[in-house]
Amino acid sequence: MRVSACLMIVVCMTALPIWAQDDSESAVRSKIIALEKAWNQAYKAGDIRALDSILDKEIVLINDDGSVQSKADFLGSMKTTANNSQEQQVSPESMSVHVFGNTAISTGVFRAKGIEGGKSYVRRERFVDTWLYKNGKWVCVASNATPILH
């Protein structure tokens, strides 16, 4: 009887880290989804300060046209967009997050609306964002957007 009780205790104790890991990964997924939504809201509002805190200083952004931007380029383009009062809207349609230790990969689809070259547009794009837990917070270190063609 003692042997089976000890065995049961050992089995339960080894299962605890698995449950804790699931809870931890769930919390990270929720945090990354919240950061993705915060990024969209900051982008829509032209909030450069919020974007600055979400994006890592070494982020690589690959745009839907294949061009590459640094953080400085991206934030600078936000100033240009705000000065030209071109409305931009980004709305996520779907999103999933996969956690690998201190790294998380967020994938999904978003819809973008705005004015480009004097013409309005609406397009859907698939994205992949890479997040890293760095210096006590999650920051985006890479982002890629690809148009979804019909």
Topology adopted by domain 2-147: Nuclear Transport Factor 2; Chain: A, (3.10.450)
Q: Give residue-wise pLDDT tens across range 91-134.
A: 778 999 999 999 999 999 988 888 878 888 888 999 999 999 99
CA distance 62 to 126: 12
pLDDT of residue 23: 58
Residue 54 has pLDDT above 50, yes or no: yes
pLDDT of residue 136: 95
User: Is the pTM here over 0.85, yes or no?
Assistant: no
Decide: 56 and 132 in contact? Cβ < 8 Å. Answer: yes
For residue 54, list its beta bridge partners: none
Rg for the chain, CA atoms, rounded: 20
Q: What is the mean pLDDT of residues 46-65?
A: 95
Reported as a pLDDT band with limits 50, 70 and 90, residue 83 is: very low
CB atoms within 10 A of CB 74: 18
Residue 9 has pLDDT above 50, yes or no: no
What residue ranges do the domains of the chain occupy?
2-147
